[in-house]
Amino acid sequence: AQFTALSSLVLLSACGGAQSSGEKDANGAGKVTADIGVISYISGPGAAYGEAITNGLKLANEEINKKGEVEINLVIEDSAGKQDQALTAAQKLMNSKNVTAIIGPTLSTEMNVVGPEADLNGVPIMGTSTTAEGIPQIGEYVFRNSLPEALAIPASIDKAIEKYDAKKVAILYGNDDVFTKSGFDTMKKAAEEKGLEILTIETFQKGQSDYNAQLTKIKSLKPDLILASALYNEGAVIMDQARKMGIDVPFVGGNGFNSPEVIKIAGDAANGLIVATPWYGDKDDQKVQDFVKKYEEKYGKKPDQFAAQAYDALYILAEALKNAGDADRDAVRDALAETKDFQGILGSFSFDKDGDVVMEPTVLVIDEGKFTVFE
């Protein structure tokens, strides 16, 4: 009896939800309206990541609201790439009853502290650029639509081995950041699995400006490749100093290097950088070209991977809101988890059972100051 009563209750509430959101009348009544919190790295040394992300979100937001099926109001908070600031922003957003879900934060280091809180509070949260191992496994409310290092790095290393017949590598990584550490773990594992000889493992910290000691050692060991796990600021300076010291071997980097800032900071020294990405702006695809055109018109520059991932993320969330028929946090979490074969500018997208990404990367190389497909 209890079971029957419970099932009719579930049935009733399901009907209620569907009714309140049913077909729209001429005034658009019944459409789902929601506040979506955004935690983004928009000030400080890595602000170009967050700037691209918020640009991508704002563009998607305009388009989605114009279509009129759902109405999203973005509530944007700056984390400055810091754990404590990201957590404060998350608490503020979670305490607002109107916030259905959160997009961000930008860094895995931030998500590592924010994700468990959101999960505990039952607020769906989706990273658009968090690529470290284990992010979606934080809990059932935690998602990402970013290509994890575990998929990106092995693809880049494979290409580099194939292209340069590489046998010996040096690894350099930031040991004070969740993403750079996780990228290192993946690089080491991939190098071992592929039978590469690891000549040395060197470390650095955020904000470091002099890599002479690490690079001198690496140079003396004559690697065929350098595997570097870094965010763009440190990564670009490392490449610049390496080239100035006469180290001309290719670099393989993780997602942190997938920013045009690398080329802006390092100039010609960035040539020979190999990365894997789910985003390629020159792709012969109408959806991709429309996005690139609109983005350029609005912001006066080409979108990067971070803008593209954020753009798709808001569409994925809008789809979940539509399918949930309601701005309720639990309903949206469930609808989000069901995302399957979503066709975005990054291609076809699905979550696996953990809320992690199923996606194919493209390997790029910086050649003559430009990211190009590494054939």
- 156 belongs to the binding site for ligand 1QQ (CB under 6 A): no
**Dihedral class, residue 85 (left if φ above 0, else alpha if ψ from -120 to 50, else beta):** alpha
DSSP alpha helix (H) spans, the chain: 2-21, 47-67, 83-95, 108-121, 149-164, 178-193, 212-221, 232-244, 261-266, 286-299, 305-324, 329-337
Which positions from 304 through 363 interact with ligand 1QQ, judged by CB under 6 A? none
Q: How far is the CB of 357 from ligand 1QQ (least distance, A)?
A: 12
In the complex, minimum distance from the CB of residue 144 to ligand 1QQ, in angstroms, rounded to a whole number: 9
Query: Of the candidates 106, 128, 145, 339, which one interacts with ligand 1QQ according to CB under 6 A?
Result: 106
Q: Considering CB under 6 A, how many residues would be counted as binding ligand 1QQ?
A: 12
* CA 107 vs CA 7, 50, 112: distances in Å: 42, 9, 9
Range in contact with ligand 1QQ (rule: CB under 6 A) among 29-37, 100-108, 194-202, 276-284: 100-108
Do you know the residue count of the chain?
Answer: 375
Q: Whole-angstrom Cα distance, residue 245 to residue 329?
A: 54
Q: Report, in Å, the least distance between residue 149 CB and ligand 1QQ.
A: 7
Based on CB atoms, which residue is closest to ligand 1QQ, 238 or 327? 238
Select 132 or 166, whichever has its Cβ closest to ligand 1QQ. 132
Q: If binding is defined by CB under 6 A, does position 279 make contact with ligand 1QQ?
A: no
From 13-21, 84-92, 125-133, 208-216, span contacting ligand 1QQ (CB under 6 A): 125-133
Q: Specify the residue, 49 or 211, whose C-beta has the smaller distance to ligand 1QQ.
A: 49
Q: Nearest 10 degrees: CA dihedral of 88, 90, 92, 94?
A: -150
Asked if 310 contacts 103 with a C-beta cutoff of 8 angstroms, the reply is: yes
User: With respect to ligand 1QQ, which residue has the nearer C-beta, 179 or 204?
Assistant: 179
CB-wise, 93 or 132, nearer to ligand 1QQ?
A: 132
Q: How many whole angstroms separate alpha carbon 358 and alpha carbon 290?
A: 24
Contact map string, positions 246 to 265, toward ligand 1QQ, x by CB under 6 A: ---------xx---------
The whole-angstrom separation of Cα 168 and Cα 213 is 20
Closer residue to ligand 1QQ (CB): 118 or 231: 231
Q: Of the candidates 129, 145, 277, 305, which one interacts with ligand 1QQ according to CB under 6 A?
A: 129
Kindly identify the residues of this chain, within the stretch 178-237, that bind ligand 1QQ according to CB under 6 A: 179, 231
Non-local CB neighbours of 72 within 8 Å, separated by 6+ positions = 33, 34, 35, 36, 61, 64, 65, 314, 317, 318, 321
Rounded to an integer, what distance in angstroms lies between the CA atom of residue 279 and that of residue 139? 27
Q: How far is the CB of 239 from ligand 1QQ (least distance, A)?
A: 16
Residue in this structure with the two tokens 């199923």, named with its chain if needed: 358
- The window from 70-78, 129-137, 189-197, 208-216 that contacts ligand 1QQ (CB under 6 A) reads 129-137
Cα–Cα distance, 180 to 15 (Å, whole number): 47
Task: Determine which residue in the list 85, 108, 277, 309 makes contact with ligand 1QQ, applying CB under 6 A.
Answer: 108
Which residues does 275 contact at the CB level (< 8 Å), separation at least 6? 152, 156, 252, 253, 254, 255, 257, 258, 363, 364, 365, 371
Strand partners, 365: 274, 372
- In this complex, which beta carbon is closest to ligand 1QQ, that of residue 230 or of residue 321? 230
132, 142, 292, 324: which one contacts ligand 1QQ (CB under 6 A)? 132
The residues binding ligand 1QQ (CB under 6 A) are: 49, 106-108, 129-132, 179, 231, 255-256
